[in-house]
Structure 1
Amino acid sequence: MLFAPGVPVVRAPTYRTPPGAGDGGIVWIPRGPSMSKPLIIRTDELDDESASWVSQHADLAHVEVDSPEFQKFADEAAGLLVRTATTVDEALLERMPRLKVVGRGGVGIDNIDVGACQARGVRVVYTPEASTQAVVEYTLAAMLDMVRPRIVLDEPVDRTEWASLRAEIVGFHQLNELSIGILGMGRIGSRLAGALGSLGCTMNYCDLREIPAQDRHGATPLPIEGLFAESDVISIHVDGRSANRRLVNESLLQNASSSLLLVNTSRGRVIAEDDLADWLQANPLAAVLLDVQEQEPPDPANPLWELDNCFIAPHLASRTRTSLANMGRVVQDVVAVIQDEQPTWQADPSDPALA
């Protein structure tokens, strides 16, 4: 069997390291009559605590889909653990004849063909509440960064320079003086509205669903066209369904404020990046923070790189130790399915968000 580097191996009578495997190489454990644990493959990162836990219930192999070693493990794997980088489609499922469950450590599952999984009797589990707090904190910090410029001194300055800096670095607005739009009022959007409401902000939102009053936190519903026309700041929190691809495009941006501040921590595909680049070039007072992009990392030829009012971050919103540990707990649902138990969070193929 195969084990991830660093995961305790407690039952292997013998082992060897495959030729050419250095640090991070795969440890191969010969299968014997007593080795009855199911095999789970992980293709992406997994925190140490989760890896240690799952190793008590299954044999864990860390191997990427495009590795030459993958197929020898895929033939026997009962579980597959993925994050954002791995696409689970019909072609991959075809290579895994014994697969029972796919576990996605994270909120979105648009990289998984849930319908194809269902057709093969493969269940999909995920962690929809894992990163809500982390993303809300990051989004709020991004908004404040854009509204309240600041510098940090790394060397002493004299009184003249001190006074000059204080005169120069002055915010034009406070956050509670701006109209803030929230595109997508799910777990993250609603929690963000609560945080903004506590700061006294005026908020509007747009969502496909009717949002209960207690989850609006004082935000007013608007159609998407009105949200872009009336907002000074917009934060995007929609899912990755196909209908949301290029949702934010030229027709919406042309009616937006020429000084709009736009933050996207949801899915890169929801913004038409070519339209955004044109709009930012024509509106130098506007600014955009893209924590997610259509292609990650973005192509060096992407025109957004050339714009001073476009800030690109490497998909950091959910990157806290707590959030990553929460995502890792998907292993518990993966093991539950393998053991014919009911998981806590299973993807519903009829959910419109998966369309």
Structure 2
Amino acid sequence: MKIVLLDGYHLNRDLNWDAVRALGECTFYDRTQPDDNQQILARIGDAEIVITHKTPIQDSVISQVPNLKYIGVMGTGYDAVDIASAKQHQVTVTTVPNYSTDAVAQYAISLLLEVTGQVGLHNQVVHDGKWATIADFTFWEKPLIELKGKTIGMIGYGRIAQQVAKIAHAFAMNVIFYNHRPKNVTDDWAHQVSFDELLQQADIISLHVPQTPETINLINQASIAKMKDGVIVINTARGTLIDESAMAAALNEDKVLALATDVVATEPIDPQNPLLTAKNCFITPHIAWAPLETRERLLDIITENIQAFIAGKPINQVN
């Protein structure tokens, strides 16, 4: 069984792939050019199993590699793979669900705490010497915000969103959520509302939906206009959920108090991305999933997925 890993740098750098190596003849690449179909095709070659993180595997690739039987996506989202083409060519596609739930929820709250507590800013100005030069025992560069009593609105209410909601509830926040399908929840403190009601009621909006044709630019000029003035938006899902030009304008006009996002529409970030020069925009380089413990769990499940496929009993299959 030939196994090819197209873009494993973020796991190759410090994790042990021996359990996967034991399953077949392995060729591992740190990176593959995502826009170079010829390189992707050449690297897949006659392999039966391909593992990808962000390298796209579209119909133009799948249709030209007849030996391919399995695509393992190293993550929960599978927008990099043409699922319809994979089904047509009888290629099994699996993902790694739930490996990062706690880490991403932790990170979403970290982004919120950075906006409301301004820890990074005040640490920096103290180290720059400002505190040593003032007459008072305290000072603050920007207003600080208490979370108790604020309403957080979750767009999407899967496992990560539910974990964020539990943490928010522990901060004595009010929790509302919108989900495209009605959710049965047992927590009496979490209230399901319509999309427009969420936009109108939430002091903080946290995004937790996958990228689909329906969710691209879900947060746009029209939806922003329905939000409260001074809303905080948190995004640990996909950058394409937000119309970045509309969001930059809303930040600069103080309609949105702050955006804290771990993702952008094009990654790595385009130097011309309007969010880079917008006011009160906090951007980190897609790292919510990246704690060591989380990546170790990811690799364990990748291995289990391949083992199950080889045994003829695939798990975590999406097609």
Same fold by TM-score greater than 0.5: yes
Q: Which residue of 2 aligns with 1:163?
A: 136
3-state SS, counterpart of residue 205 of structure 2:
strand
Q: Which residue of 2 aligns with 1:198?
A: 170
- Relative to the length of structure 2, the TM-score reads 0.88
The 5 Å alignment of 1:1-355 reads 38-45=1-8, 46-47=11-12, 49=15, 51-63=17-29, 64=32, 66=36, 71-84=41-54, 86-150=55-119, 151-152=122-123, 153-154=126-127, 161=134, 163-164=136-137, 166-168=138-140, 172-214=144-186, 216=187, 218-283=189-254, 286-328=257-299, 329-337=301-309, 339-347=310-318, 349=319
**Superposition deviation, residue 158 in structure 1:** 7.5
* Unaligned stretches of 5+ residues in structure 1: 1-37, 350-355
**Superposition deviation, residue 68 in structure 1:** 7.0
Determine what percentage of the aligned residue pairs are the same residue. 23
The answer to whether the Cα contact below 8 Å between 2:248 and 2:274 also exists between their aligned partners in 1 is yes
Rounded Cα–Cα distance in structure 1 between residues aligned with 2:289 and 2:226:
31
**1:81 partner amino acid:** I
| Count of residue pairs brought into register by the alignment | 307
The answer to whether the Cα contact below 8 Å between 1:75 and 1:97 also exists between their aligned partners in 2 is no
**Superposition deviation, residue 331 in structure 1:** 2.8
Rounded Cα–Cα distance in structure 2 between residues aligned with 1:71 and 1:157:
56
Rounded Cα–Cα distance in structure 1 between residues aligned with 2:71 and 2:281:
36
| Structure 1 residues 332 and 49, CA gap change in structure 2 (3 angstroms) | farther
| Structure 1 residues 217 and 187, CA gap change in structure 2 (3 angstroms) | farther
| Structure 1 residues 73 and 142, CA gap change in structure 2 (3 angstroms) | closer
Deviations 1:257-294 (A, max 9, x none): 22111111101111111211222221166110121111
**2:26 partner amino acid:** L
**Superposition deviation, residue 297 in structure 1:** 2.0
The answer to whether the Cα contact below 8 Å between 1:103 and 1:331 also exists between their aligned partners in 2 is no
**1:343 partner amino acid:** P
Rounded Cα–Cα distance in structure 2 between residues aligned with 1:67 and 1:236:
32
**1:163 partner amino acid:** D
Deviations 1:95-151 (A, max 9, x none): 321111100111111111111101111001111111111100000111111111232
3-state SS, counterpart of residue 261 of structure 1:
strand
Rounded Cα–Cα distance in structure 2 between residues aligned with 1:52 and 1:162:
60
3-state SS, counterpart of residue 182 of structure 1:
strand
Worse-superposed segment, 225-234 or 135-144: 225-234
**Superposition deviation, residue 69 in structure 1:** 6.6
Deviations 1:21-80 (A, max 9, x none): xxxxxxxxxxxxxxxxx1111111234655211111111112426497754552320101
Rounded Cα–Cα distance in structure 2 between residues aligned with 1:121 and 1:162:
72
The answer to whether the Cα contact below 8 Å between 2:73 and 2:93 also exists between their aligned partners in 1 is yes
